[in-house]
Amino acid sequence: MHDLRHIFQLMPPALGTARAIEKPPAVSEKEYVNMQRAGRIFGVSWTVIDRLVKCGFLRLIDYRPHGWKRVCYQSIVDHCDRLRLEYVIADRRSPLSSPMLRHKDEDLLPFPLRDTVSVSEIMPALALSTREAAIAIVREGKFEAYRLHPFAPWRISAPSFVAYLRRCGGGLPYGPGA
């Protein structure tokens, strides 16, 4: 008789069995990224990534209390796509040639971090003295902008903002005398 233990070890464990709990199924490396990489994708610290997870925007894989936290890659893609829809920002990514491929990390956000300016950076160009007035203009949708979550700071597309200023004839559309 052949030893059946060898065959048993090759079989995947049945869910809920002691063997399945002892050794969870392996997760494909393409299905997750570590917290640091997720932070680089979003341009934030790991604590903000943790907050996005707690708010339900991102999902973790294998989140044992004392283990390395891994973020489900698809949840990152889904969140970035949700931001595009919510803030009506066109998807400028080129289509992937295969469903097995991924976009570059810097292409996941609605627009690249290097092309991002803050509310305080647009205030002088609009001749505004208060953040509230600048945020009101951002919310009007005059140029592309988004927030990672409802209480996060606004990220404004610099090219979109410059185009907005040009549409206004180079003059100041708001502020004194406008």
Q: Is 177 a domain residue?
A: no
Dihedral of CA atoms 142, 123, 136, 43 in degrees, nearest 10, equals 80
Q: Is 66 a domain residue?
A: yes
**pTM reported for the whole predicted model:** 0.75
Which residues, in sequence order, are bridge partners of residue 155? 146
Range of the domain at 134: 113-167
State the pLDDT at residue 23.
46
Measured at the alpha carbon of residue 38, what is the angle toward residues 35 and 39, in degrees to the nearest 5? 85
Token code pair at residue 33: 């990224």
Number of domains in the chain: 2
Tens-level pLDDT at each residue, the chain (178 residues): 555 444 444 445 554 444 444 444 444 456 889 989 999 999 999 889 989 999 999 999 876 777 778 999 999 999 999 999 999 999 988 888 887 888 889 999 999 999 999 999 999 998 899 999 999 999 999 999 999 999 999 999 999 999 999 888 765 555 444 4
Q: Is 178 a domain residue?
A: no
Q: Is 15 a domain residue?
A: no
Do 88 and 122 lie in one domain? The reply is no
Token code pair at residue 23: 């050794």
State the pLDDT at residue 99.
79
Measured at the alpha carbon of residue 99, what is the angle toward residues 95 and 104, in degrees to the nearest 5? 55
Q: Is 21 a domain residue?
A: no
Phi/psi-derived region of residue 28, left when phi > 0, alpha when psi is between -120 and 50, beta in every other case: beta
Dihedral of CA atoms 32, 45, 154, 125 in degrees, nearest 10, equals -130
Do 35 and 86 lie in one domain? The reply is yes
Q: Is 141 a domain residue?
A: yes
